[in-house]
Amino acid sequence: MDLPIEGDAQGAVQEAVFFAAAHLLNPEVDLIFSDTTSTCSSATARTQRRVMRCFAGSGHSKDHRKDLPQIVIGFTVTRESIRVRCWVWPGNTSDTTVIGQGKDDLLSWRLGRVVTVADSGYSSEANLAYLTRAGGHYITGLKIRETSKKAAAALARQGRYQELRDNLRVKEVQLDDDPGRRWIIYHNPVEAAREQARRDEQLSVIVDELERIAQARSSDAKKARTRRPRPPSAP
């Protein structure tokens, strides 16, 4: 395959590598898993200056080193964990930029009907709207602790769960005001019982501590009353 000298040479090289591997391994590309991570440069001062010139910007440091230049690394893999493509961005790159470039760069590869799978960090409405452009599809997670109004409505919708395994059951929900989206709610009875036991234990510790504080305050109040000096008697 001839690679262009100008333009997205890195993308052309990665495309050639992927299709060469795909010719041998024949991976399924109906699902593309996408994720990002961040890292920092701890090389010499000269190398750090070069990194800052190429990837200027400071973002959230997962390494807890805000003093070092940050970069964001993105990648996509198939369901067989075969790498499709990777990217490198400045540390202050937004999620929308990451999702947008990842989708746009793979469009020219003509992989067919692809469903992008992302974690809950990319479930914002702006990201999901971009993934649906040009007839795109997506699967993304959403944490219950960070529910939106639509997610809360989906959780409140009645429906029968389908048992998949002993520790997993799911149900599909569709909202009247959001007809183009399918919500798959899963419930893990084992994990739910474990979480309930953890909450009960934490609640018991809090109640015991509140009772201890109340008893200590009551005891201090009694001591203060006994120490209060009596007024002198009249002559």
The full length of the chain comes to 235
All structural domains of the chain with their residue ranges: 9-141, 143-187, 192-223
pLDDT at 3: 38
CATH superfamily for 9-141 is Transposase Inhibitor Protein From Tn5; Chain A, domain 1 (3.90.350.10)
pLDDT at 215: 92
What are the phi and psi torsion angles at 48 (to 5°)?
-65, -40
Structure tokens belonging to residue 118:
């992302």
pLDDT at 190: 87
DSSP assigned state of 145: G
pLDDT at 223: 80
In this prediction the pTM is 0.62
Contacts for 166 with CB less than 8 Å, ≥ 6 apart:
190
What are the phi and psi torsion angles at 143 (to 5°)?
-75, 140
- Comparing CA positions, the residue from 135, 11, 128 lying closest to residue 76 is 11
Mean pLDDT in consecutive groups of 10 residues from the start of the chain, 235 residues:
50 84 80 82 60 57 65 85 84 76 80 79 78 80 71 83 84 83 86 92 95 91 74 61
Burial of 21 (0-12, 13-18, 19+ CB in 10 A): middle
